[in-house]
Amino acid sequence: MNTALILGIAFVLVVFAIISYFMRFYNRVKKSALRVEEAFSGVDTYLEERFDMLTKMASTVKEEARTEVDLQTEVTKVRSKYDIAKTISEKIDAVNNIERLMPLFQATRENYPDTKFNEGFRQMQRGILQIEDKISAARRNYNTSVRQHNELIVVFPANIISGMFNFDAYPMFEATEHKREDIDLDEIWAK
């Protein structure tokens, strides 16, 4: 066999091996990038859920608390009027006012069988803990995917090829956007 032919075949095999390596590496990085994006989507979904859930829960608990406080304040006022009433007529007026409040009190009891709004706060706290656990797990998953992706593109000789294809490292998760911030419950309660 001719030496030139052997060298030609060897050259073609080397070029084929290099092209094959580039293609496999390119595909691995693309798949890795998709896993990172999928992991981030999971984080984003839970952050949206947290924002929506906390806003709705805080509004509901706030309304329950306001209803209970308003009712208790009104009942206390009417009872005070009865206690300080000097005449029978004043006492009858106070009793009539209490009777006027009874349907409102009954409606409140039907809507909220246990008018202690502390349970609403407890439910909100449990909801917050559950969603924060989900967010934490999703962030860990994202950061693991990012670490694996970034390790793939920074080691030699992959870093050279990554530079040729402009493959960038992904950042670890940092929440900065409005809906990714923790909810300021004091602000919600102040409304």
Q: What is the pLDDT of residues 59-105, one digit of tens each?
A: 777 777 777 777 777 777 877 777 787 877 777 777 667 667 666 65
Q: Which of 157, 153, 169, 168 lies closest to 18 in space, CA to CA?
A: 157
pTM over 0.85: no
Supply the range of the domain harboring residue 81: 3-190
Cα dist from 190 to 30, 54, 61, 63, 114, whole Å: 48, 15, 13, 12, 24
Closest CA to 126 of 45, 52, 43, 53: 53
pLDDT score for 158: 85
Residue 85: DSSP 8-state: -
27 pLDDT band (50/70/90 cuts)?
A: very high
**How many domains does one find in the chain?**
1
- Site of tokens 């005449």: 87
